[in-house]
Amino acid sequence: MGEGAPLPNELKLGTRRTGDLIDFDPDTPEVKVVLDWSEHGISVEVPWSAPDDYYASWFLRDGLQGLPAVKKPIPKRLMFADTHGALQLVQCWPRGFHSNLASGTGRMWARFAVMDVRDDIDFQHIDGIRSEVSGLREWLRVSSVSEELDPPSKTITVVGKPADEIIVAPNLTFVPTWSTERPDGEDSIVLRDYVACQTMSATPADWDDLAETHHGIRDLLVLARWRPETCTVTMVTRDDDPIVTLDGKEHGRQWRNVVVASREESPAPVSGYRPHLMEYDEIGGASGVARWLELREEFSRALDPIITDRYLQKVPALTHLAQVGPGLEALGYLLLKNRDGVGAEAAKNSQLRQRLDRIAADVDAAVPFDAGTWAETMTRAYNGIKHANRSLPAELDLLNRWRESVVAVRAWVALELGAEAAAVKRRLELDPSAGAFVARD
């Protein structure tokens, strides 16, 4: 970077910056703090020089007797500013301190950092949010990048042009886009081709409420390819924070970059043949996605445990079966009550085998095994781990009942969204994640 060039206002993992902590109250004392983003999260080290210092009361009021009460509630949002620029820390809370009964340092944590915010704008609530859901662009089969190779001149032309937006619902849009970045210390430029998931609200809303639909899209992709997809908030917007030029004129909506404290590792690239169990065009495109969101809400008690199971790592088969079992029980119960018209009391009192048989009836033509046999053997295996007076099935048996149960639920979702049974069965027969476990010699 040349002499006199402005320092970039970036927050990368491993960053430590010293600057001012501001809560927009002129009566609050000035303080120099250290902003840190580590593997533990985004935090701010706040010093104090005496036990009755204003900032000490944030951390010590519950730890030491005789101290004055905190002068005002600890802000849920704070601004940090230094020579690089400013950012707003959102959803803040204090946790942890070091003190010698005189001076000390407390640590404030934040869930999000909204970049380049200098004004007193309440990013606790937002009018729109964007996230990046791994695997979404590939599933949609859209691209915002094109290449043209000219062998005679030994040139290649790469053009970034956003593909058309996909409106799924009035408040949900898929926004194809592209970006470039230059990795630190490397003589290369990385061109990223991706799709942002965007939801908007008519009035300022909570982050988690606006992001819930994004997690629903992630869950659909988990079931489609059975890998632990990620959903990371990347941008937010507020109606009272438009783009403003130096002449004071407003120029439309402004999207602020966001750094999320908890990092999710991106899933490894798919190797070999791993088909999507339900394809975007096959389920009717945007209408199929909207139908999925309704299905997810109606059957959340059944689907959430199955999806969560995909994120369990290095646990025994018994744990996997104990995780998916309640989801299967809920799915069978809901099908009896919501689809078959069985009374709530009768559905509640139905036996496990009856519930699994009900699922099997829906998926028998779409799974690469006999669904009736699965219902029988899964009932025996699940009862074996639930009841201490019954024999615990062998590890291999548990593994295969767990595998078949996941396959059955994935197939059920695919059929509900409009995929044909023959196509679902063919894909499952070729899907390595659906293959049977066998004993090693």
Helix (H) or strand (E) holding 427: helix 421-430
Name, in order, each residue with C-beta under 8 angstroms of 267's C-beta and a sequence gap of 6 or more. 134, 135, 227, 228, 229, 230
Q: Residue 367: what residue type?
A: V
Q: Return the residue matching tokens 């905190």.
A: 70
- 3 φ/ψ angles, rounded to the nearest 5 degrees: -65, 130
Q: What is the CATH number of domain 16-115?
A: 2.30.110
8, 55 contact by CB (below 8 A): no
Contact 142, 163 (CB under 8 A): yes
Report the alpha-carbon distance of residue 55 to residue 99 in Å, rounded. 12
Give the helix/strand (H/E) hosting 161. none
Domain ranges of the chain: 16-115, 125-260, 286-434
Give the residues across from 194 on adjacent strands: 177
What is the pLDDT tens value at each position of the chain, 441 positions in all?
445 556 789 898 898 999 999 998 888 899 999 999 999 999 999 999 887 788 888 887 654 555 555 556 788 999 999 999 999 999 999 988 888 878 899 999 999 999 999 999 999 999 999 999 999 999 999 999 998 888 888 888 889 999 999 999 999 999 999 998 877 767 788 889 999 999 999 999 999 999 999 999 999 999 999 999 999 999 999 999 999 888 888 889 999 999 999 877 777 777 777 889 999 999 999 999 999 999 999 999 999 999 999 999 999 999 999 999 999 999 999 999 999 999 999 999 999 999 999 999 999 999 999 999 999 999 999 999 988 888 888 999 999 999 999 999 999 999 999 999 999 999 999 998 888 888 876
Beta bridge partners of 44: 35, 108
